[in-house]
Amino acid sequence: MTIENKKQMKIIKIGGNIINNQRALENFLTNFHQIEGPKILVHGGGEIASKLAKELNIPVQMIDGRRVTNQANLDIITMVYAGKINKNIVAKLQANQINALGLTGADAQTIVAQKRSSNPINFGYVGDALKINTNTIELLLNHNITPVFCAITHDKNGDLLNTNADTIASEIAIAFGKYYRTELYYCFDKQGVLKDINDPTSVIEKIHFKQYQQLKKRQIIFKGMIPKLDNCFHALQNNVSQVHIGTTEMLFNTTTHTTLQLQ
Determine the pLDDT at residue 66. 78
pLDDT for 166 beyond 80: yes
Q: Region 68-90: what's the mean pLDDT?
A: 95
Q: What residues contact 108, with CB distance under 8 A and at least 6 apart?
A: 133, 136
* pTM given for the model: 0.94
Quick one: DSSP state of residue 249?
A: G
What value does the mean pLDDT of the chain take? 93
Could you list the residues known to form a binding site, using ranges.
Answer: 45-46, 67, 162
Residue 92 CA from chain centroid, whole number:
19
Model confidence at 234, in pLDDT bands (50, 70, 90)? very high
Specify binding-site residues for substrate: 45-46, 67, 162
Q: Give the sign of the dihedral formed by CA 244, CA 255, CA 101, CA 158.
A: positive
